Amino acid sequence: MPRVAVDVLLKREILDPQGRAVEEALPGLGYEGVSEVRVGKHLEFEVPVDGDALTERVEAMCAGFLTNPVIESYRWRVIDGAERADA
Amino acid sequence: MPRVAVDVLLKREILDPQGRAVEEALPGLGYEGVSEVRVGKHLEFEVPVDGDALTERVEAMCAGFLTNPVIESYRWRVIDGAERADA
């Protein structure tokens, strides 16, 4: 069963207060020069279909439930076991 | 300046209530059979160093500030402009 990873961020033109907070905290912790910080959601799940049906299902889930397309954008990919963030 | 994407999830042995909630909501929305849902954080940022220094900097930031290594695990990669979740 394919495992899908979805990354969600606020659109680039939308203010991201959480990203701003991280960016402002980093220099005080010794990490200078980190910029353009954006913070969003990461989801992983298994979907019981493949190929075009997988694409259609994931796009529908992302646009219809997992994200708010008015203010968020997303990107998804199929991952293998070694690419899991909790591997 | 390299752009880094970090994915953070609760460790696999830790209960993920948000993932569970998404998993339980999906069938009612018409998405049957989606399983093993995990929900975490996605961060993107630019770091002003390269090569080994980049690896060292990002690992230190992830382990020391961006995640809680007791309950969370993470994975990071360098991305190009087209791979941004807000591209």
HEC profile of chain B = CCEEEEEEEECCCCCCHHHHHHHHHCHHHCCCCCEEEEEEEEEEEECCCCHHHHHHHHHHHHHHHHCCCCCEEEEEEEECHHHCCCC
Would you place residue B55 in the very low, low, confident or very high pLDDT band (cuts 50, 70, 90)? Answer: very high
Q: Which of B5, B29, B85 sits opposite A74 (nearest CB)?
A: B85
Task: Compute the average pLDDT of residues B63-83.
Answer: 96
Q: What is the pLDDT of residue A87?
A: 87
Rounded to two decimals, the ipTM of the complex is 0.95
Which regions of A1-87 does DSSP assign to beta strands (E)? 3-10, 35-46, 72-79
Mean residue pLDDT across chain A: 97
- In a 3-state reduction of DSSP, which class is residue A82? helix
Would you place residue B54 in the very low, low, confident or very high pLDDT band (cuts 50, 70, 90)? Answer: very high
Question: Tokens 């880094």 label which residue?
Answer: B4
State the nearest Cα–Cα gap between A51 and chain B, in angstroms: 15
Residues of A in contact with B82 (CB under 8 A): none
Q: What is the pLDDT of residue B87?
A: 87
State the nearest Cα–Cα gap between B86 and chain A, in angstroms: 5
Residues of A in contact with B84 (CB under 8 A): 9, 75
Query: CA angle at residue B41 from A78 to A52, to 5 degrees?
Result: 20
Q: Which residues of chain A have pLDDT under 70?
A: none
Diameter of chain A measured on Cα atoms: 48
Identify the sign of the CA torsion B69, B17, A20, B76: positive
Q: What is the pLDDT of residue A46?
A: 98
Residues of B in contact with A25 (CB under 8 A): 65
Query: Using the beta-carbon criterion (under 8 Å), do B44 and A36 form an inter-chain contact?
Result: yes
Mutate to test the interface with B, among A43, A59, A68 (most CBs of B within 10 A): A43
Residue pair A2/A76 in contact (Cβ under 8 Å)? The answer is: no
Residue B44 clears pLDDT 90, i.e. is over it: yes
* pLDDT single digits (tens) B8-28: 999 999 999 999 999 999 999
